[in-house]
Each structure stands twice: as C-alpha cells, then as structure tokens.
Amino acid sequence: QVQLVQSGAEVKKPGASVKVSCKASGYTFTSNYIHWVRQAPGQGLEWMGIINPSDGSTNYAQNFQVRVTMTRDTFTSTVYMELSSLTSEDTAVYYCARAGSNHLDFWGQGTLVTVPS
C-alpha cells in the first residue's frame, strides 16, 4: 500500500532553516510527482510546490520561490522540503502528498514546524 512517512516535529528559531523529509513506499518512487502543502494553525491548505522524483525538476509557488528548495534521493525514495529564513508566520503543519495526475491522492501524516516569535 502507498505510504508517505514524514519526519518528526521541529522547533526552529527565527531566521533559521528547516528541512522536512517524506519517505515513500508501496509504489515506484520515480513514477509520481510529490507535492508539498502547508497548513497554519486554524487556517486552510496552501500549496507550496511540486517535485518530479524522476529528474529532480521542481516548480514552486510564487509565495515560496525565494525561500523553498525541494530535493529527492532516489536511493532512499525520499523527498525533502527545505524552507529558509523562517518567521513565526511559517509555524504550520507541512504535508507531502503524492500526485495522481492532477490531484493529490495519498498524503503524509504531516510535520509540525514551530517558529516561536
């Protein structure tokens, strides 16, 4: 069965960076893109970007283009999302989700990133 298992919760200082991992299993890793989506406390879902695990190509949402980097490791079937220059407004749960053509069909459990103000 398809599974996306994310790394654990993080607490970071303002100005620091955070790197969240998402390990895929149960399917061919390079066959499906991976999205990253975040959700601030009490707020809605916000699309951050997408990575093609096959060749590492990416596309980032305009709001994150300067601060986000998505990478992958095909040997461990893991994708990573690194967000830099953190502020308290980046406090959120970060999700990875597998792309099923033009929708998000399987989601990770989420990773809480806290940036105290």
What are the residues binding other proteins (CB under 8 A)?
A: 35, 37, 44-47, 50, 59, 61-62, 95, 97, 100-110
Separation between Cα atoms, residue 106 and residue 68, nearest integer Å? 22
Residue among 3 and 76 whose Cβ is closer to other proteins? 3
Q: Cβ closer to other proteins: 13 or 41? A: 41
Minimum distance, C-beta of residue 54 to other proteins, in the bound complex (Å): 14
Nearer of residues 102 and 117 to other proteins, judged by Cβ: 102
114 vs 92: CA distance, rounded Å: 7
